A = this chain, B = another copy of it.
Amino acid sequence: MVAGLALTQEQRELLKQRRQRLGELLPFPVLLWAGGRSPRNFPHNGYPYRASSHFLYFAGIPIEQAVIRLQAGRLELFVDDPPPGAALWHGPSPTREELAAQIGAEAAYPLSELGSFSGEALTLGVQDAATRIQQAHILNRGIPAAPDLHPQDEPLAEAVVQLRLCQDAFALEQMRTAAAVTVEAHRAGMAASRQAKRESEVRAAMEQAICAQQMTVAYTSIVTVHGEVLHNEAYHHRLQPGDLLLADVGAESPLGWAADVTRTWPVSGQFSPTQRELYEVVRQAHDACIAQAAPGVEYRELHLLAAQVIASGLVELGILRGDPHTLVERDAHALFFPHGIGHLLGLDVHDMEDLGDRAGYAAGRQRSQRFGLGYLRLDRPLQAGMVVTIEPGFYQVPALLQDPVRRQRYDDCVNWERLAQFADVRGIRIEDDVLITPTGCEVLTAALPSHPEEIETWVMG
């Protein structure tokens, strides 16, 4: 399906540059499958099609069931023309030659010829298992499910990570459009909150703003008054006047590029004093990280900076006791901020997470065993062109705070009685998408307010 997805000459040129750089990094031929439609409850009722991100990176547009072959900058397309009768159901479709011209392929063949072009080719497994079986069949070797890789494909994964870590003008133009629509969605959500009776109504208003712009959500939306459930996918709770609503919703552009934004706002339009105090702690952490983000800075240091700001804020509020630096060393901050400060963003909302930690972690680094660091998804020095999220939070997660082992370990540094006074805060997160520039960074989603007064104004309408 490429209806309405025509590429410009400039976009085609940037795609060509990606392929040339791949050719410089890798002496082997590469086959990348777009993948097929995943069936929902029967074969002809599929989920909305999403091509593999690696295919999209080099071909630019989604082409169902297509395969591309890349070698030394040359691009060949393998795809079948639509079967006879398809026009009745699906309308006129571009021919193989038209698709080849669209993506700038030097040659195009039916899929039946793929076998004779597959020798020595490396690949990356797609997400749908049915297509992965075809990959294994064509290449005559096992293609494991992500994040595992056949050892032969490791050099391809490394080259792809090297390319996709920093975004080019094509990617940034797409990500800016996704960011702009995401900002609109959050504004729509704030505006809908006072009238809404349930979470689902706010979610619907936000996703409507995305759908109306011919985009889709980049990930399952989180729109909940139970922000303490980090990946909450329930939308049935009633909104009560004293609730904070946490909305983590991002658009994906038609060519597959993601935005990922969280805001937290009072359903009533007015933060309570306790909500405002904790909101400001999170916002200080958010602002501090953005102020520091620049090429050469270790992302892990931004995470620890956020932890430090949050620990200091909680000490000031009397929730934690002790020296903030020591508290962070003891992971006491992670009782309330248990996840990482963010992740890479690109074609995937957690960019290249299908490759495991190969993208997120610099060579030789691995996940920490520490409670306060183990969930960090990115541990690299920042480079100009990277897009990352910055998303500190504060949560009261019963599974953490009621855990007897943790309660004992941190009993000396948590003032439980003081904490109980903040019971009207279950979860707060503020998340923006940040492009690292040569001199610092640019917040792609800066048009969305994070100041509490501005948020209140938007909710009040």
Q: Please list the residues of chain A having a beta carbon within 8 angstroms of any beta carbon in chain B.
A: 1, 3-4, 38-48, 50, 52-53, 87-92, 127-130, 132-133, 145-147, 198, 200-201, 203-205, 207-214, 219-220, 226, 228-236, 256, 338, 347-350, 352-354, 397-400
Neighbour of A212 across the interface among B39, B130, B132, B204, CB < 8 A? B204
User: Which residues of B sit under 8 angstroms from A338, Cβ to Cβ?
Assistant: 88
- In angstroms, how far is the closest chain B Cβ from the Cβ of A156? 16
A41, A132, A205, A400 interface centre (most CB from chain B within 10 Å) = A41
User: Which residues of B sit under 8 angstroms from A44, Cβ to Cβ?
Assistant: 350, 353
Q: A130-B129, A204-B208 are in contact. Are A230 and B38 (CB under 8 A)?
A: no
User: Which residues of B sit under 8 angstroms from A145, Cβ to Cβ?
Assistant: 43, 130
Q: A203-B211, A208-B208 are in contact. Are A353 and B42 (CB under 8 A)?
A: yes
Contact B236 A214 (CB under 8 A): yes
The docked-state distance in angstroms from the alpha carbon of A132 to that of B90 is 29
Contact A200 B229 (CB under 8 A): no
Neighbour of A350 across the interface among B45, B87, B229, CB < 8 A? B45
Contact B42 A399 (CB under 8 A): no
Q: A47-B38, A130-B129, A201-B212 are in contact. Are A399 and B348 (CB under 8 A)?
A: no
Q: A1-B233, A91-B226 are in contact. Are A42 and B127 (CB under 8 A)?
A: yes
List 17 additional contacts besides A43-B353, A43-B354, A208-B211; criterion CB under 8 Å.
Answer: A3-B236, A4-B234, A38-B127, A41-B50, A42-B353, A42-B354, A45-B220, A46-B220, A87-B397, A88-B230, A88-B397, A90-B229, A91-B234, A198-B212, A204-B209, A214-B235, A214-B236
The docked-state distance in angstroms from the alpha carbon of A51 to that of B12 is 41
Q: A127-B39, A198-B214 are in contact. Are A236 and B204 (CB under 8 A)?
A: no
User: Which residues of B sit under 8 angstroms from A350, Cβ to Cβ?
Assistant: 42, 44-45
Contact A127 B43 (CB under 8 A): yes
Q: Select from chain B the residue with minimum beta-carbon distance to A220.
A: B48
Q: How many monomers of this protein are in the complex? A: 2
The main secondary structure of chain A at its interface with chain B is: loop
Neighbour of A128 across the interface among B38, B88, B132, B398, CB < 8 A? B38
Q: Select from chain B the residue with minimum beta-carbon distance to A207.
A: B211
- In angstroms, how far is the closest chain B Cβ from the Cβ of A22? 19
User: Which residues of B sit under 8 angstroms from A127, Cβ to Cβ?
Assistant: 38-43
Q: A47-B47, A205-B208 are in contact. Are A42 and B146 (CB under 8 A)?
A: yes
Q: Mind listing 14 A-B residue pairs with CB under 8 Å?
A: A1-B234, A4-B234, A4-B236, A39-B146, A41-B256, A42-B146, A43-B353, A45-B353, A47-B48, A89-B230, A91-B234, A200-B211, A201-B212, A207-B208
The docked-state distance in angstroms from the alpha carbon of A438 to that of B338 is 60
- In angstroms, how far is the closest chain B Cβ from the Cβ of A447? 21
Contact B232 A91 (CB under 8 A): yes
**7 nearest interchain CB pairs?**
A129-B129, A91-B229, A204-B211, A4-B236, A87-B399, A204-B212, A42-B354
The docked-state distance in angstroms from the alpha carbon of A43 to that of B145 is 9
The docked-state distance in angstroms from the alpha carbon of A311 to that of B57 is 51
Contact B42 A88 (CB under 8 A): no
- In angstroms, how far is the closest chain B Cβ from the Cβ of A6? 11
User: Which residues of B sit under 8 angstroms from A352, Cβ to Cβ?
Assistant: 42
Neighbour of A41 across the interface among B53, B130, B236, CB < 8 A? B53
The docked-state distance in angstroms from the alpha carbon of A48 to that of B220 is 7
The docked-state distance in angstroms from the alpha carbon of A133 to that of B133 is 11
Q: Select from chain B the residue with minimum beta-carbon distance to A231.
A: B89
- In angstroms, how far is the closest chain B Cβ from the Cβ of A33? 13
Neighbour of A347 across the interface among B41, B52, B87, B90, CB < 8 A? B41
The docked-state distance in angstroms from the alpha carbon of A298 to that of B229 is 52
The docked-state distance in angstroms from the alpha carbon of A154 to that of B192 is 51
Neighbour of A219 across the interface among B45, B87, B88, CB < 8 A? B45
Q: Select from chain B the residue with minimum beta-carbon distance to A375.
A: B88
Contact B203 A41 (CB under 8 A): no
A4, A38, A256, A354 interface centre (most CB from chain B within 10 Å) = A38
- In angstroms, how far is the closest chain B Cβ from the Cβ of A371? 11
